Amino acid sequence: MKAIIFKELRENAKWAALMLVGMLIAMWVALYEGFVWSFRPEVFHDEILAVMIFGPCAAALVLGLLQTVLETRRDQWAFLMHRGVSASHIFLGKVVAGTVMYLASRRGGLPFGPSHARRRLLQRIDSTSDVTSVFSTSRGLIYGYRVPSSYPTGHRPPPKLQWIVGPDGFLPPSAQPRKRFGRFLASRSGYWGGGVRLAWDRRWEGSRERWERKFLLFETGLYEIDFNRQTIKPHYQPPDKQSIRSILSVDDDRLAIVFDDAIHIHQIEFTVAGEFDDRETFEKSELKVALPGKRLSSIPIPEPVQSFRHFEFGEVPQGNQIVFKCQSQVTPFTQRFVYMKQDGTVARIRDLPSQTTQIPTEAVVTSCGFAACVPLVLAGSSVMIDSISQTIDGTGPGLFLRILMHDPRATLPVVAVIVLLSLLSGWLARRTARRYGFAKRERVWWIVIAVLIGPAGLLSLYCLRDWPLRQTCRACRKLSPIDNGTCIHCGTELEPPPLDGTEILYNEPAMAT
């Protein structure tokens, strides 16, 4: 089989290299269009996803055709089959070589591209006249690019870097900032918290906003940046170099700054950041931003809450307690409530079912389509690992079992598709094994493989095994493989096939002497 692998690599490596170049060009163009011109915040935008989805599929299809179609020219397939290697080894050799070339053709793309595109994970911050400012999450800096408005030569030149913004202020493009921002959390159009507990007062329904001041929240502090005057003013910086998780409003007078291990309660200081027009009354009103003022108190975050990424909290006036409502992405149908006293000790913990909606029919149909490609052994092992790991951690019986108990009508069709396809594959493998007279051990193995892997196991059976011709038995009139010697149904000896004049006959004793 080693010779077959090297033969395939030698014949088709040039096509894999050509596909690699094509993937590099397509990814470069997608990165250039997405980052340099549109400054899209998502690294996986539409063009990138199109190249990543359809490019590898097209490459795999072309490689498969090249490995098969080219072998049919000038009777090359007959020459290949007479190499003294079984068809199974030829198939495996082609699969291994094709997989190696397929992976090699996908190695390029993301590390290459224009110098501006290498500032990955850009997020648009502001657009002032002809300068677009974007935040680079990988570098912790804001870059301002001057985008040309006209193209006299007909060719669109790349944007020119105008400035670099860091905690120290606005710097020229050639400067090396000493300080950097932390992770970007929110801007003037972003939410602090959720629901009605927004730290920034926004009228997004039935109004038109006009913001005059730009406020940006990073995990290292809250800054006001004026891109017109090129000034930066810090409004809040966390003590002891802590990292801010979020800011949300407690009530009309207090603001909560959430850290990893504590929550600081501050007095609210409102400032006017713009105005908005009501579309119904056409009245102008002030847009106010809630900024942290004097620190009032500090609340420790109990250990059962720190592991959750999303949580809310509130005060219980009668019981003099603080309640944390935690939501985990691992167990989406359960909410954990942690009751803590004012001194920081946990009073009790309760796990209650959350309010969830029914799974729509369109999602069930899509899930059934994906389930047709999932082998039974992969689905079963994933469910077992998930259930065992979550049971050990004490978070429940597992995500799949929770979904099954929550909405069985939406989950059972997916399970039925996987199980029925596996059983159908096992039945077809058994039927094929009986028709060709497989040995008992070989028949059991192929049935088990087809049941566990599904259609992929059945396809492996048809591709990896040699299939002899079959002829009709003169006794039972049923088809039986000619290489078996006797009929697999009744045991009658099969007649040799008639000669057609193309056979090469020799006398073994005569040749030996």
pLDDT of residue 447: 92
Task: Establish if 327 belongs to a structural domain.
Answer: yes
Residue 350 falls inside a structural domain: yes
Give the range of the structural domain holding residue 404, as residue numbers without chain letter.
Answer: 361-464
Burial class of residue 202, CB neighbours in 10 A (0-12, 13-18, 19+): middle
Q: Same domain, yes or no, for 448 and 477?
A: no
| Contacting residues for 465 by C-beta, under 8 A, at least 6 apart | 87, 88
Cα separation, 260 vs 244, in Å, equals 7
Report yes or no: 144 and 131 within 8 Å, Cβ to Cβ: yes
Are 69 and 152 members of one domain? no
Tell me the C-alpha distance between 98 and 77, whole Å.
17
Q: pTM for this one? A: 0.54
Whether residues 140 and 166 share a domain: the answer is yes
Q: Do residues 338 and 428 both lie within one domain?
A: no
Tokens of 252: 């009309």
Rounded to an integer, the average pLDDT of 115-120 is: 40
CA dist 176 and 451 (Å) reads 61
Residue 8 within a domain:
yes
Match 């006017």 to its residue by tokens: 272
Round the average pLDDT of the chain to a whole number and report it. Answer: 76
Tokens of 132: 């677009």
In-domain check, residue 394: yes
- Most confidently modeled of 46-60, 247-261, 320-334, 354-368? 247-261
| pLDDT score, position 145 | 82
Please check whether residue 392 lies inside any domain of the structure.
yes
Residue bearing the bigger pLDDT, 305 or 87:
305
Give me the DSSP letters along 197-250: --SB----SSEEEEE-SEEEEETTEEEEEETTTTEEEEEE--GGG----EEEES
**pLDDT tens profile 269-288:** 888 877 877 767 777 877 77
162, part of any domain: yes
What would you report as the CA-atom Rg of the chain, rounded to the nearest whole angstrom? 34
Q: Are residues 76 and 140 in the same domain?
A: no
Task: Let me know whether 328 and 422 are in one domain.
Answer: no
- Percent over 70 (pLDDT), the chain: 74
CA 369 → CA 58, 374, 400, 418, 458, distances in Å?
Answer: 21, 10, 18, 10, 19
Of the candidates 160, 181, 202, which is a domain's last residue? 181
Give the separation between CA 71 and CA 92, rounded to whole angstroms. Answer: 16
17 shares its domain with 98: yes
Q: Which of 73, 105, 137 is the last residue of a domain?
A: 105
pLDDT value at position 470?
A: 82
Residue 258 domain-assigned (yes or no): no
Tens-digit pLDDT profile for residues 179-191 = 889 888 877 544 4
What are the tens digits of pLDDT across the range 312-340?
888 877 767 888 888 765 555 677 888 89
Domain count, the chain: 5
Cβ atoms of residues 492 and 479 within 8 Å: no
- Note whether residue 138 is domain-resident: yes
Same domain, 423 and 451: yes
Q: Are residues 139 and 51 in the same domain?
A: no
492 vs 159, residue with greater confidence: 492
